[in-house]
Amino acid sequence: MAEPVPFRWPIRVYWEDTDAGGVVYHAGYLRFLERARTEWLRARGVDQLAFKQATGLAFLVARMELDFLRPALLDDELLATVSVKKRGAASILFDQTIERADGACLVRAVVRVACVDMTRMRAAPIPASLIPPISP
């Protein structure tokens, strides 16, 4: 079951995010989504570098599905949302969106992030104390 209220992270579109026409380049949305997931973890008290140094574990994107619905433009104010759809033993399935401040949905994404033992480069269980399982 998904989290009831999505985490929201504000974004402003800068020149560096756009193509020559002032439209956000498609790969820019990946950075926006990544930053929102990072801030989602940080809001839960998880410093990813400290976590990796202490446990040897890290979170890596295993799969993404994106629907580009509308373009974002230079200087737009956006909100990236993060909601846990499902938490498995070694992965988290996120629903994410990027919306304009006026509420228009620009991008919908489903992202699976795996917890990986960085020494062995194999999936590893997510510590329950870090991100508790989502109740069904």
The candidate with the shortest Cα–Cα distance to 57, out of 26, 91, 30, is 91
- Of the candidates 19, 47, 67, 75, the residue annotated as catalytic is 19
Question: What is the Cα–Cα distance from 110 to 63, expressed in whole angstroms?
Answer: 8
Beta-bridged to residue 23, according to DSSP, are: 73
Phi-psi region of 103 (alpha: psi -120 to 50; beta: other; left: phi over 0): left
Q: Is 75 a residue of the active site?
A: no
Catalytic residues, which ones?
A: 19
